[in-house]
Amino acid sequence: MQAVKAVRQNYHPTEEVLSLLEDFRCMVNDCVRIGLRENLTSMKSLSMKAYHQLSAYDVPTCYRLTAISRAAGILRNYRRELKKKRRLSARVPYVTRLSLTDCYGFRVIHRLVRLPIRKGEYTFIVLNDHTLRTVGGHTPGSLTLTANSLSISLSKEIAEIQPVGAIGIDRNLDNVTLADSDGRILRHDLSRATEIKARCRETKSHFKRNDVRIRRHVYGKYGGIQRNRVGWLLHNVSASIVRRAKEKRFGIVMENIRGIRKLYRKGNGQGTTYRARLNSWSFYELQRQVEYKARWEGIPVVYVAARETSVNCSICGSRTTTTYPNERRTLHCSKCGISIDRDVNAARNILAKGKRGMRFTPDGPPEVRTEAVKGNETTMGPILRADGGKVTQG
């Protein structure tokens, strides 16, 4: 299995780098115009038409191919938007942000990234310690530059582990609840992330200046503050989940909640503040971080349907669960008589669904098989629908 991830750092661009980024942006826009004019649908046909026309730019030829590739992706997304029944028209694509992608010409030499500018001329960017530690031992795949950041993609071949159990993850607005095959329940508090988003949203609401340029600057500033602070919290949670899965040799099970924002559209009878809180929920960012970190460690990730994970009792499977008004987070099952936290109930149901579609090692990890050969008693596998499980805060 091939695992891919990227490492990012900030840097201060020189005039040469900014000029190169501007040339690359113009090259991509030229390729987009050629593709729209000639009605080209593949990267090969776009290369045949646009490659020689890009010789007007005084840049190394390696950037022509990456500019064509970037334009082909933009055109593909544009045609996908046109085919949607709900959108009768889509805005003609045009790249405005400075950026550059290189797969052929750059080299990582000690603490420097060498980037070709013209034939025989190079510029160098200094890497920080974190980037050096991450890149060390791996072959860089591609380099992406913007006006203030540098990203290097890395890949490696890793054997997928055969899990001996699984971890079910229930994502909520203010917490992430985990239930594993050992019967343990773990909860990570994310209420601080919700508070950060609310404060940034309130700060931006006080801005009254009727100037688009200043508004864009202010909104970008507080948007960056929110993104950095919330991203750090999600990084800690996702790293903790993957670390536990690696130690226990567990697979990871998450529910597929794509399209959940349709529940919070304008006109659904919900308040503005409520819709703002739910639409700012970073459920996909947590999913993305958990998935790429797990695949980097060879841990399988399985997605299950979200249907009935919250309404079915995780003990008896009955749908006769009710919630009392004064206990919003507690479910009561009239059939088995249990009262259980709704997030814990959902995490257990997600775990049960995932274990049906995940392949496990029959005899457990190597150390368990070794002890069994020596005559030691092996541990009984966990009963999925057992009652109990102490909730601990992560």
Tell me the pLDDT tens digit for each residue of 208-230: 777 888 888 889 999 999 999 99
User: How high is the pLDDT of residue 373?
Assistant: 38
Task: Give CA 279 to chain center in angstroms.
Answer: 17
Angle between helices 212-248 and 283-296 (to 10 degrees): 40
Task: Give, to the nearest 10 degrees, the angle between helix 212-248 and helix 191-205.
Answer: 180
CA distances from residue 187 to 3, 203, 248, 342, 392 in whole angstroms, order as listed: 28, 30, 17, 12, 6
Q: Which of 175, 187, 103 is nearest to 145 (CA)?
A: 103
Q: What is the pLDDT, as a whole number, of residue 269?
A: 83
Whole-angstrom distance, CA of residue 207 vs CA of residue 258: 33
Q: Which helix (H) or strand (E) holds 221?
A: helix 212-248
Which residues of the chain fall below pLDDT 50?
363-391
Residue extents of the structural domains in the chain: 12-138, 165-393
Cross-strand pairs, 4:
155
**Tens digits of per-residue pLDDT, 58-94?**
999 999 999 999 999 999 999 888 887 566 667 889 9
> Sheet containing 107-109: which strands, arranged edge to edge?
107-109, 112-118, 121-126
Instruction: Please name the residues in contact with 206: beta carbons below 8 A apart, sequence gap of 6 or more.
Output: none
**Res 119: pLDDT:** 84
Among positive and negative, which fits the CA dihedral 225, 235, 70, 301? negative
pLDDT of res. 83: 81
Query: Distances in Å between the alpha carbon of 354 and those of 33, 76, 194, 319?
Result: 47, 34, 28, 19
User: Around Cβ 39, how many Cβ atoms within 10 Å?
Assistant: 9
Among positive and negative, which fits the CA dihedral 209, 212, 214, 220?
positive
Distance CA 115, CA 142 (A): 12
